[in-house]
Chain A
């Protein structure tokens, strides 16, 4: 158990070190460009983008939890089978 925790901690440490070497997101400028798109507020008047975003984010979290659960379940079965 201790070895497992240490192993995970070591992996997270390595991952964080690797993250520090990675470049920052190149899409920031492009994302900021969206603000300059005209008539977005008009689009929001027709479509409930805020509500859609809320539903999508909720749905995404639920699906990710489900997928994570399935991966964990498969991983545990692999351990048992191995």
Chain B
């Protein structure tokens, strides 16, 4: 009996120890990823694998992430950042949105009223994406498949858009491409080639391409403009006149402004939203260029947004916000302050083992690795400061160390003796072949670390029951979504059918819901304390 008790107690203690060791540590803090660690992560939900960005739980990114990497421009050239000083971090809200097709899209939503319709851009997998803000909302075109690959983004206007104004529904815009393709002849006549696919082929690199969306009249019409190379991108935009005197602009589409075609100064209500274009590995992005009007009130490129914002008059005083594609290669990077936000490439995706993402574990591990790295760097700096006496640390370096003249006579005269051919392969360590694993790789190896005993305990029945319960409960944790309903209720009375339409959306009460959730959580904690006290825990 005593042996049985010993065995039973040791068994319970073993299970307890293993449970504690293998149990993820959640007790530290709410998962708040480090904003400096933006990376793509993979989340598994059931049988579907979704991609989202690791700062999903983080609603706000520091302004530092934007100020040095994002470029906003009301104009071009030196006045690009003229109003950035007014922007504070709370003006931006980086959120993840899931479309109806479970596609993940990123949106960067500005809460800055005066930046409406301003395009901005970000980079995912070394691809540059452009977003525009439509009446305060963003229509992003970041479209990522289940494997983290970029499926498509907006070449010209076609692509998948996310319209927050429509409740986050995805909008597939394709008619712009059709319009584009319809105007092959016109574009060809102006040194632009257009393939059937609707993409632009730059036959003359001296051209910079514009495009614009014609609003008013037929809102679905789109216009494409190009401008010859006497236009100096990124420096100044030439002032246009109503008669299009100095530089000839072309409006290459058949739209409501058809009668004004070829005379840009007389076009009717042209506005530009956004667009990107990649050709031969070079990505061109759109930026607000200048504004003009056909009402005789010409606006110079140096006019700010506010200057021409009063010219939004559909019928009389037309305005144009013209953007342009410009070369975003490095040669223009400094001149136009184009420094898109850099994300790791797809190869650095963090594979997450298991069904759940443990942000704490990743976060803590990354912090630990960063701390370790910084510690090693400090140690290295310290050893370097010691000069020659940097024993025992050795770091391979490309620098040649001059030991000076040796006072000891060399054996065999003034030269070293011939020691014969060097063995091949070299028995010495080749430092050039040593690659330091990245943080992501380290996390990968950590995630894949399988201890047979522990992994068997949480998957083998009946010992898996505690983990089964844990997994079961955690499945109830979903992204909070405000209830919305839209359905018809048909009632047939005396052979007549009455249809009642029910439609509602509680998203207006998000603030109240958050308060309610916090109250529930506080109540839960109090109840848990009372339960623990009553049961002498």
The residues of A with any CB-CB pair to B shorter than 8 Å are 8, 11-12, 15-16, 19-20, 22-28, 30-32, 34-36, 39-59, 61-68, 71-72, 75, 78, 82
Contact = CB atoms under 8 A, between A and B. Distances in A.
What is the size category of the interface that chain B forms with chain A? Answer: 35 or more
A64 B12 CA distance: 11
B14 A15 contact: yes
Name the residue in A8, A12, A44 with the highest tally of chain B Cβ atoms < 10 Å from its Cβ.
A44
Contact of A42 (B483, B521, B525): B483
29 contacts: A8-B10, A16-B456, A24-B459, A25-B460, A25-B465, A25-B467, A25-B468, A30-B472, A35-B46, A43-B478, A44-B479, A45-B482, A45-B506, A45-B513, A46-B516, A47-B517, A48-B517, A48-B521, A49-B478, A50-B477, A52-B521, A55-B521, A57-B24, A57-B26, A57-B470, A61-B20, A68-B13, A68-B20, A71-B16
**Residue among B2, B478, B517, B521 facing the most chain A CB atoms (10 A cut-off):** B478
User: Chain A interface secondary structure, helix, strand, loop or mixed?
Assistant: helix
A32 B481 CA distance: 21
Contact of B480 (A22, A30, A45, A68): A45
Given A22-B462, A55-B525, 16 more contacts: A8-B10, A11-B11, A20-B460, A22-B456, A25-B459, A25-B460, A28-B468, A34-B476, A35-B45, A41-B478, A45-B482, A47-B517, A51-B30, A57-B26, A61-B26, A78-B5
Nearest to B516: A46
A81 to B, nearest CB: 11
B47 A20 contact: no
B20 A15 contact: no
A59 B521 contact: no
A19 B460 contact: yes
A63 B535 CA distance: 11
Contacts of B463: 19, 22
A49 B47 contact: no
Nearest to B57: A50
Nearest to B6: A75
B410 interface: no
A10 B387 CA distance: 52
Contacts of A41: 478-481
Contacts of B468: 25, 27-28, 31
Contacts of B11: 11, 15
A23 to B, nearest CB: 5
A14 to B, nearest CB: 10
Interface string B14-52: 101101100110110010000000000000011100000
Contacts of B10: 8, 11
Interface string B354-389: 000000000000000000000000000000000000
A53 B56 CA distance: 19
Contact of B453 (A12, A50, A71, A82): A12
Interface string B446-478: 000000110011011111110110111111111
A82 B1 CA distance: 13
Given A23-B461, A24-B460, A68-B13, A55 B517 contact: no
Contacts of B47: 32, 35
Contacts of B479: 41, 44
Contacts of A26: 461
